[in-house]
Structure 1
């Protein structure tokens, strides 16, 4: 694995380079804290990542981060989790990608499995005041991320206009593939009308993953997608059936987040693995935990009636739904880190990044704003949280804690 660990970023070269173990632990601890506190859905997660890894830890610059977000918007699967894996991969190799996934995913997965096993005593979390406060602070986090990225990525009128056009299109087109189409059109406009100047940001993604290994990961992704249904029909067995169902759901959904729900429901409810009521109860519980919505898979595995141990079934479902994302990110990044330095690709990226800003702006309104702000007091708290983040420069975790406390006290 030594050859898969990248050279540390410049700021770490000032002192002794971290060992593989310390790099793994650094990534694991950073993402575990985010996994415990990142409420608000995938767009909010991208805001938390930007604050933590671009501004506080300075693992990468704004343009490189935006390029990672753009790449993950193209890939099927949960975009925020994929960005997290990419950050871990660039920091500490394949072990770093694993550490990022473990830290960001396990907190909510453990909570949902506990709920499935019937040990949750929190009652109706859907109306908890502290949870409402966390939804409110997510609005401020996303607003700060959109504003910061807009300043850097849409500094002129053409790109600002592209971002507004992308936002309008995203609000009017609700199809799951709409964001892929918007980004593709943005790339075409950027390639044709936004000639690249000097390389934006001048930073190269720190990555030492061979392209041959990347190609192997991409081939494995396609092979599993094709072969698992065949093996399920020929060999059978509950473990293989469960793995195939969740791997396919993680492979074929674009947009991530709530878009995966119809796919999951079609996989587990009609066969009788999970009842409709249990499915809805788990979805409600998922709204009350931090981290990626795809951890809903752990709950579904735990309550599924497939003849497996519940913890084993939860583990299979969780690994299966995230495995496509790992294979795609590890497979695409070695090629992406080279392609993004080409002049034509840089022009396309100027358009793509403007489109991403527009998508985030649309997501800021719905579902982030519309799901959290229901009254004037809610909006007042959003403005207060934004002021603490943007002007008082408080760390996001402290603003999250204050918002949860305010929500508990006021609602």
Structure 2
């Protein structure tokens, strides 16, 4: 989730400290850049191996379905807010259109989801370090919990420190994450490690594994809602707005499908322990930086749940609130010490995205023109249908 203009998305790299400046005469480029920047982030490193382990040969199909669904969400949101509200977060947008209860609902679910998401990131970083040592993802109980809590401790300590990451560093972070994800797909993660690790639960049926992969991908897709800030700021017409969103979705699809294709290759260059350790340590460092910025964002969202915080949102959340969010992250990480812990923890962000996007679709049905109402109704039906189908499939996980 992207908090314009000063806060950070769950999975996206933007973490921007300044508002977007639309490109003169080319607002579609600015919108496309913000869409891609909002989605591509920590998910670049986390999701390709998770989806490969869960979906196997169907990974590309799962990724394609996710990009189509996410792009549709972004397009409906973009056309909904274009002429109705100013730049805002997803919570602010649905609140302006549906009322304060909707804003509080979105903020509430995302405040909880951020904590589960950071626990998942920390567990993934721990799994990467253990994979570097063993050459394959280890089974549960192999020391991952201590490493995951250590990653969270460093990230939370950074969030408590009176420091702000340089804007240039945040702009370059997604490029570093993307390059690192490609290298890890080739040299760190085995093509088919099997279930019973932190990346995939054991005992899942094929259908349940696919549903878990598709549902967990909502974590990688949190960030499509960046259009609620980018589109009003770009001041583009409906055609250019749509073109910008589609271009951004295409770029996201190319990146993620490319990573998934590389991850799914059966034959890969053998990597020695030194190279695996370099990649794993770099992965843990980049993901720890996401924990730092996202813990602060979670604290900002939590602060808005109080009336005083909603009336005068602070740029930097109170240290006590940051510490409380960090403690919640650690509690989730403690509970995630089982096989499949990473995708199961990602169900928190997935549920939050589902709630936020469903409310946005309902706002389109209520406030849009005829075409937008039809698109919102279709999107709402798809989201509700996915939830109804996924819950039974995942009930035994």
How high is the TM-score relative to the length of structure 2? 0.42
Q: Which has the larger radius of gyration?
A: 1
How high is the TM-score relative to the length of structure 1? 0.41
